[in-house]
Every structure is written in structure tokens, then in C-alpha cells.
Amino acid sequence: MIEFDQVCKRYEGGYEALTNLSFHIPRGEMRFLTGHSGAGKSTLLKLIMVMERASSGQVIVGGRNLSSLPARRIPEVRRDVGVVFQNHQLLFDRTVYDNVALPLIIAGYGHRDIGRRVRAALDKVGLLDKERKNPITLSGGEQQRVGIARAVVNKPALLLADEPTGNLDPQLSAEIMHLFEQFKQVGVTVLIATHDLGLIARMPYRLLTLRNGQLVTRGGDDNVPE
Ligand code: ADP
Ligand code: ADP
């Protein structure tokens, strides 16, 4: 599903955020992306979302080579990727329902389809009874679940999250991680950047660990294409 082959990312000004990165995440797997602040986690996620382009090497997502993808085809890639942010980026002048519906409206779905899909997504995150609320009236954990519903409402094959539990206490963080596991169980590929090592220590998924833009090898891990 995701393949990096000898990827380097150098920002303008010359700073090399990622160096010779090669790894492979098969479809339907769940992985954690860890590393210190500044290690390159967000940069790696941005390459997958085509918010940045690799300076050299190949990034292949869902069979598409992003390194040579023309700009007009970027929306097609993004439709297949759901993204969850730490600060969830919800709109506080709209209802929960409208926040979750947004990606479908942009994609041009019809009214009835939107209703069906939004309610299915809210049901998956346990917020069906909150659809008429303004997200500002919800707790932090609930707001993050609205963010997750919005990320999956399109049924993307790939779900990315950048520090999704950064603002939550341990109990709520564990619940959010459990939600991600449920998407993995229905075949979604999940990649979660986090520095909450305590939280993920007990979870049975492999880590991709970055140090100064390089993958730290852990025996038998993902550094070699599978
Ligand atoms: P992380 O998400 O692990 O904290 P980032 O990918 O955000 O790491 O950053 C990796 C490195 O790249 C950092 O040193 C950061 O300062 C640098 N960096 C990130 N974005 C840019 C940018 N747009 N321009 C220049 N340097 C950047
Ligand atoms: P369709 O809308 O294509 O008829 P369904 O609604 O029957 O598909 O979905 C089949 C199952 O797959 C659902 O139970 C749903 O939970 C699950 N599923 C597949 N992909 C995703 C995804 N990206 N996000 C959430 N659920 C998904």
C-alpha cells in the first residue's frame, strides 16, 4: 500500500529532513511512526498526502508513483487517504453532521448518499446522537472522534494520523487507538505518528522509528520491502 524507496526530502534552504528512507507497509496493516520531535514524522506523512514531494527516490501509494504524478492527479490520490490531525481542525460554526459531510460535499456526492455515509461514519465512532451538536460543545475525546469520522467518511483505503492523541488523557487516548484498530480490522491501512511510547507499548503493531530523518533498524522490521 505504501512503499518508500531510497527517499530523500530536502527543504528549501538545504535542510535534509529525510535521508535514504526505504520501507514497505502492506495493505491492511497498522503501523506506528515514532521518533523525537523534528525526526521527520510529519514530513513523511506529507509525502504520502502529496503535500510535499520527495527530492529524490520513489514514493508509491496505492500503486501510484507520487514522485512522477502530475499535479492534476493529486486530488485522486487524496480522495483515497483519510487524515486525522492532533488539533482535529473542525469547523466550530457548523454542526457535527456538517463537519463530517464536508469531504463528501467536496467530492460531489448526492444528498441521500451523504446522509447515509455520514450516519455510518458517526455510528462507527459512537457519536450518532451528537450529529446536531456544535463540536465546540463536545469533549476533547469526542471532538477527536468527529475528526476520525470525517477522515473515514469517504471510506479511504489508507488512514493517516499525526499525533491524534496529543491533547488527550491516557484513557481517552487508548479509546482513540482502539478505534483505529477497528478500521484496521475492516481492511484499512493505518499509519499513526505518535511520540506516546507508553500508549503503544502494549499494542501488537510494528514501529517505524525515525532518528534525524533516518529509519532506525530494528531486527526483522520494515526496512526491507516485503
Ligand atoms: P516531526 O514531525 O518528527 O517533528 P518534521 O517532519 O516536522 O518532524 O520536521 C523534520 C525537520 O524538517 C525539522 O528539522 C524541521 O525543522 C524541518 N522542516 C519541516 N518542515 C520544513 C519546511 N517547510 N521548511 C524547512 N524545514 C522544515
Ligand atoms: P458500500 O458502501 O460500498 O456498500 P458497506 O457500507 O457495505 O460498503 O461497507 C462494508 C464494510 O466495510 C462496512 O462495514 C465498513 O465498516 C467497512 N469499511 C471498509 N472500508 C472502510 C473505511 N475506509 N472506513 C470505514 N469502514 C470501512
pLDDT value at 221 more than 60: no
- DSSP SS3 for 36: coil
Burial (CB count within 10 angstroms: exposed 0-12, middle 13-18, buried 19+), residue 60: middle
Q: Smallest Cα–Cα separation from 152: which of 180, 110, 113?
A: 180
Q: Please calculate the CA angle 108-43-26 and round it to the nearest 5 degrees.
A: 70
190 C-beta neighbours (distance < 10 Å), count: 24
Ligand nearest to the CA of 124: 2
Arithmetic mean of pLDDT, 38-65 = 96
pLDDT score recorded for residue 223: 43
Q: Which residue has the least CA distance to atom 8 on ligand 2?
A: 155
Kind plus residue range of the DSSP H or E element containing 45: helix 41-48
Residue having the nearest C-alpha atom to atom 15 of ligand 1 = 38
Q: Which ligand is nearest to the CA of 43?
A: 1
pLDDT tens, residue by residue, 167-185: 888 999 999 999 999 999 9
- 16 CA from centroid of ligand 1 (Å): 9
pLDDT of residue 34: 95
Per-residue pLDDT, averaged over 186-201, amounts to: 92
- All domains of the chain, ordered by start, with CATH? 2-89+155-215 (3.40.50.300)
What's the 100 CA to ligand 1 centre distance in angstroms? 29
User: pLDDT (tens digit, 9 = 90+) per residue, 108-146?
Assistant: 999 999 999 999 999 999 999 999 999 999 999 999 999
DSSP state of 164: T
Other CB atoms within a 10 A radius of the CB of residue 63 amount to 7
The mean predicted confidence, pLDDT, of the chain is 92
51 C-beta closer than 6 A to ligand 1: no
The answer to whether 25 and 222 have CB atoms below 8 angstroms apart is: yes
Say yes or no to pLDDT of 158 above 80.
yes
- Give the ipTM: 0.68
Instruction: Say if residue 13's pLDDT is above 60.
Output: yes
What does the DSSP assignment read for 88-131?
Answer: TT--TTS-HHHHHHHHHHHHT--HHHHHHHHHHHHHHTT-GGGT
Identify the burial level of 72 via C-beta atoms within 10 angstroms of its C-beta, where 0-12 means exposed, 13-18 middle and 19 or more buried.
Answer: exposed
The tens digit of pLDDT for each residue in 75-103 reads: 889 889 999 988 878 999 999 999 999 99
